[in-house]
Amino acid sequence: MGRLSVNLCGIELDNPVIPASGTFGYGYEFAELYDINILGTFSFKGTTREPRFGNPTPRIAECTAGMLNSVGLQNPGVDRVIDTELPRLAKCFHKPVMANVSGFSLEDYACTCQRLDGEAQIGWLEVNISCPNVHGGGMSFGTDPAQAASVVRAVKAVTTKPVLIKLTPNVTDVAAVAKACEDAGADGISLINTLLGMRIDLKTRKPILANTMGGFSGPAVFPVALRMVWQAAHAVKIPVIGMGGVSSPEDVLEMMMAGASAVEVGAANLVDPFACKRIIEELPGVMDRYGIQELKELSGGKCHG
Residues carrying an active site annotation: 131
Output the DSSP codes for the chain.
Answer: --TT-EEETTEEESSSEEEPTTSSTTSHHHHTTS-GGGSS--BPPPB-SS-B--PPSP-EEEETTEEEE-----B--HHHIIIIIHHHHHTT--S-EEEEE--SSHHHHHHHHHHHHT-TTEEEEEEE---TTSSSSTHHHHTSHHHHHHHHHHHHTT--S-EEEEPPS-SS-HHHHHHHHHHHT-SEEEE--PEEE--EETTTTEESSTTS-EEEESGGGHHHHHHHHHHHHHH-SS-EEE-SS--SHHHHHHHHHTT-SEEEE-THHHH-TTHHHHHHHHHHHHHHHTT-S-GGGTTT-----
